[in-house]
Amino acid sequence: MSESSDTREVLARLKTEVFESSNRHLALALGRPVEEVDSWFEGGEIDEDAQEKINGIAQERLPE
């Protein structure tokens, strides 16, 4: 499964709208090290498992 720009957009929305613009809070919710989440915002690869977690949290926590 290839990473989509949609995942990055959802990730950014989660960070700002749900996790108070905190990579640390977002990392805790995703069960990932904050350094990994930091790297995603710098263009690092988001693996398939992380994409699924990001989209799952978005379905639960973001308004349509």
What totals of helices (H) and strands (E) does the chain contain, helices first? Answer: 4, 0
Q: In degrees rounded to 5, what are phi and psi of residue 36? A: -70, -45
Q: How many domains does the chain have?
A: 1
Q: Which residue range forms the structural domain that includes residue 57?
A: 5-61
Instruction: Write the pLDDT tens digit of every residue in 3-59.
Output: 678 999 999 999 999 999 999 999 999 999 999 999 999 999 999 999 999 999 999
Rounded to two decimals, the pTM is 0.88
Cβ neighbours, 10 Å, residue 2: 6
